[in-house]
Amino acid sequence: MPDISLNHLAVVVDSLDEALVFWRDALGLAGTGGRQSIGDEGVDVAFLKLGDSRLELIQPTAEDSGVARYLAKRGPGLHHVCLEVSDLDSKLQALRASGVELINEAARERDGRRYAFVHPGSACGVLLELYERI
């Protein structure tokens, strides 16, 4: 298995219900676990199967969340790209040593999954999320 692979693309939306009408119902992408509320980030998310990866739909639920500010400033659309790596700590260390600006200096964890974000200023304008492969 390659060291880096695509895990998901994330799209910020005004309404998960409306977005699901297009992505799930019109395009036929299958859900992979329903909706999930992530209170500490002020968002609700839904994942849809997209080949060997997934599409994450993100709806802000708190007006002061980073995603809500992103949506207000840029509107709906692509929010971030998530890549999987085999060793997240080593990857973060290598990126830091290369002068890459990290949003998360150390890995965070949610639902048994370790992740960290790379600042768009260091990733050609793309907000990049890194998952540790499980």
Report the C-alpha gap between 52 and 19 in whole angstroms. 21
Q: What domains appear along the chain, each with residue ranges and CATH number?
A: 4-132 (3.10.180.10)
Alpha carbons 19 and 134: distance in angstroms, whole number: 29
pLDDT digits (tens, 9 = 90+) for 7-17: 999 999 999 99
pLDDT in tens, 73-122: 999 999 999 999 999 999 999 999 999 999 999 999 998 999 999 999 99
Give the max Cα distance, the chain.
45
pLDDT, tens only, 25-80: 999 999 888 899 999 999 999 999 999 999 999 999 999 999 999 999 999 999 99
